[in-house]
Amino acid sequence: MRAVVAACGAYGAGILASSLLFCTLALADDAQVDSEHCPTLTEESFEAHLDKRRKKQVPSFVMFHVSWCKACQRTYPQFVQAAEQAVEKEIPIDFAHVDCEGQKNLCKRFGVKGYPSIKLFEVKKDTDDPRAFKSQRTVEGFLNYAERMTQPAVRENATKESVQEALKEEMFSAIVAAVAAKGDAKDQKDQKKPLPAGLLAIADTWRDRHAILASNHGLAAVLPQAAEIPKDATLVVYSPPEQQWSGREPSNATAPDNSSELLAPQGPAAYAFYTGSLEDTEALAAWVERNRFPGVWRLGEGNFFEFTHASRRTAVVATSPNETQALVEAELRRCASSSLGEEYIFGAVNGVEWAESLGDFNILKQDLPRAFVTEENFEVWVEDIELLRVASLEQDLQGILDASSLVLRQSRTTWSKVQFYQRESGRKMEEVRLYASNGWKESSIVLTLLVLGTAIVGLSCRLFCACCRELLSDEYDPSSHRPPAAQQPPRQKRD
């Protein structure tokens, strides 16, 4: 008994100590992230704050968050730290935040539906049309974004070295255009000719995710020597080897500079070339949107969302790093270089590291490698261990396009889940039938299990019906629930 009491006392003391420690750490965190470089904005101060910064030609980077959101609790300290470092690095951008718990109308005004929502209010755009932040929510991610969005939308006079430098910390490909050198102009008036309208338009749309560069000496002057450049190419989407999937996972080898970072295997660089006019705004914009993910991408936390929300069908293979992936890589690259590249963009993700997330889409770790397709910006997906196979990926992907494959398109609706379980139960029943057809012994086992299962289901149904009748019955006799008269307590007389 004493041992039980002592154990309970120790447990209670542990809970109390943990609570005190949690509160202390929470207070310490609040004190740590408080910064004069990231002020709190309210509905009354919001417009004045942005106007003051705009007069100084400074954009405002605003985080909308709530205190109870776990993602906000992780991101907010990173955001504040980035604000302080931006001041130290003299990056001309303003950081601020809004607590949506007390400023619901302000957050509703800017369409904040999920937390945290981070938006950039640019100098030359309307306040009600901010740009949503879609990069990594880390100090480095915020700072890289701040530096990019405070530089010219198009970086001119690109060279091989400047392209490689621009892509050093990038999660997405670079867009490089070949423009006429200003020195080629015949008179001073032509030298002031602006960049092509189409190039400026795509720069305004994609500058927050892609490095936009202009080369005055042609594409050959900025691309690797191995690149096969069409003669009439005017623009290229270039994905360096660091962004491409190599068919291998990071090894234990360290970088040549003896840093602690592991060397990530690199795939072959990927290119997509545009041969139209850079002045044709609509045609160029449509082409870039369809071709900004060339090759086979190495997917991870920083680029998976943008990849699967690129307004394209995606074909993704969840790989098993412990197994040989040469055949998987060969099949993926064959598909990407075929006519399927016009309909799908291709990528690979580590299925072991992403096992928990992929499990929500019925991609199980024990079945790796598995292929799946996303459509409608991941509102719909296709997975089928029998009809969408890595070994015959090209054929199965073509079957989805031709509607000749009987794959099940799934979504997050209840009806979609019912269809999924119906499909799986039908396949299990077929497996049982095939097992029973092996002989009388197997048939006897299946028959016995079937009888037992039917009996259990029947009893369960009877019990369920009996409970329902009892609960829903209208017959109720209050006298049957009273004690006998002799056992009833005497009534007290009133004065």
Domains of the chain: 46-147 (3.40.30.10), 153-184+194-250+262-421 (3.40.30.10)
CA angle 354, 356, 361 (to 5 degrees): 90
Q: Give the pair of three-digit tokens for residue 183.
A: 């020195």
What's the whole-model pTM score? Answer: 0.75
| pLDDT attached to residue 482 | 57
Question: Residue 385 above 80 pLDDT?
Answer: yes
Q: Is 430 left (phi over 0), alpha (psi -120 to 50) or beta?
A: alpha
Helix axes 139-149, 70-88, angle to 10 degrees: 50
pLDDT digit string (tens) for 101-127?
Answer: 989 999 999 888 889 999 999 988 877
- The beta-strand segments (E) located in 108-165 are 117-121, 131-132
Listing DSSP states for 35-73 in one string gives -TTS-B--TTTHHHHHHHHHHTT--EEEEEE-TT-HHHH
Question: Residue 386 above 60 pLDDT?
Answer: yes
Q: Are the beta carbons of 379 and 311 closer than 8 angstroms?
A: no
Question: Residue 489 above 90 pLDDT?
Answer: no
pLDDT digit string (tens) for 438-449?
Answer: 888 878 887 888
Contacts of 487-493 with CB under 8 Å at 24 or more apart are: none
Q: Where is 471: in which H helix or E strand?
A: helix 440-472
Q: Is 404 helix (H, G, I), strand (E, B) or coil?
A: coil
Across 414-450, b (16+ Cβ under 10 Å) vs e yields eeeeeeeeebeeeeeeeeeeeebeeeeeeeeebeeee
Identify the CA nearest to 314 among candidates 387, 375, 385: 375
Highest mean pLDDT of the ranges 126-130, 272-276, 475-479:
272-276
Name the pLDDT band for 230 (thresholds 50, 70, 90): very high
pLDDT digit string (tens) for 138-174?
Answer: 898 899 889 888 888 898 888 889 888 888 878 899 9
Task: Find the Cα–Cα–Cα–Cα dihedral 135, 136, 139, 143, rounded to 10°.
Answer: -20
Q: Give the pair of three-digit tokens for residue 105.
A: 């109308």
The residues near 363 (Cβ < 8 Å, ≥ 6 apart) are: 318, 351, 370, 372, 383
Specify the residue for token string 């289901």: 457
Across 278-301, b (16+ Cβ under 10 Å) vs e yields bebbeebbebbeebbbbbbbbbee
Q: Are the beta carbons of 292 and 310 closer than 8 angstroms?
A: yes
Name the pLDDT band for 255 (thresholds 50, 70, 90): very low
